[in-house]
Structures are given as C-alpha cells and as structure tokens.
Amino acid sequence: KNEVEQSPQNLTAQEGEFITINCSYSVGISALHWLQQHPGGGIVSLFMLSSGKKKHGRLIATINIQEKHSSLHITASHPRDSAVYICAVNTDTGTASKLTFGTGTRLQVTL
C-alpha cells in the first residue's frame, strides 16, 4: 500500500463543474504539495500546505492534519484544467527533504 493515496484515479467532468480530488496519507508529514502536469509537459507546483486552506484563483487546497487528508478543489472547471494532479508529501523534517508521491489523478474537462 502506498504511503500516499489519491482518489479518484481518473475523473471526467463537464466545463463549469466543481471538482474535488482527494489525497490521504498514512505517515507523519511536514508538508503536503499539490502538483499539476499537463500532457507532455513538466510538473508545476500548485500549493504547499502544512495546515488549513489555501486559494489561488479557481483552485482551493485544504488539509486536515488529524485525519491525514487533503483535498484539491477546482471551481468552474475549464478544459484547460485537464491535466494530471499529483499529491506529494515531505515525510522528513526540514525544508530540504524528498517528496513521496501519490499516483496522480487524471482529470479531463470536456465542453
């Protein structure tokens, strides 16, 4: 069993829908990251969280440390949001530590 689990693995939505991607982890963490990878593209960092909630444009990320769970929400989804969304955690203390990744959620937003 992976230390970081994401659900769903695949998600298809229509433009304008509200989308939620979930991430659960089974280890102690110092930070959690949400990353985005467009087809054929590199990985882009969306959020880094250690508590609470962060918002950037139509993206919202939340984390519940007690429940070891994080969610990434996309409001008013658009086809350009189609990408793989990856949850990753720092399990070591300190800022210079490696990431442990989930398998990713492939999102397809259609017109």
Partner 1 sequence: EAGVTQFPSHSVIEKGQTVTLRCDPISGHDNLYWYRRVMGKEIKFLLHFVKESKQDESGMPNNRFLAERTGGTYSTLKVQPAELEDSGVYFCASSKEGFYGYTFGSGTRLTVV
By CB under 8 A, tell whether 66 contacts partner 1: no
Distance CA 6, CA 21 (A): 7
By CB under 8 A, tell whether 56 contacts partner 1: no
Tokens 């509200």 belong to residue = 18
By CB under 8 A, tell whether 42 contacts partner 1: yes
Structure tokens at 21: 């991607």
By CB under 8 A, tell whether 105 contacts partner 1: no
By CB under 8 A, tell whether 99 contacts partner 1: yes
The number of angstroms, rounded, from the C-alpha of 92 to the middle of its chain's C-alpha atoms is 19
Structure tokens at 91: 């399990």
Phi, psi of 53 (to 5 degrees): -145, 145
By CB under 8 A, tell whether 45 contacts partner 1: yes
Amino acid letter, residue 58 = R
Q: Which of 8, 16, 28, 41 binds partner 1 (CB under 8 A)?
A: 41
Residues near partner 1 (CB under 8 A):
2, 4, 31, 33, 35, 41-45, 48, 86, 88, 90, 95-96, 98-104
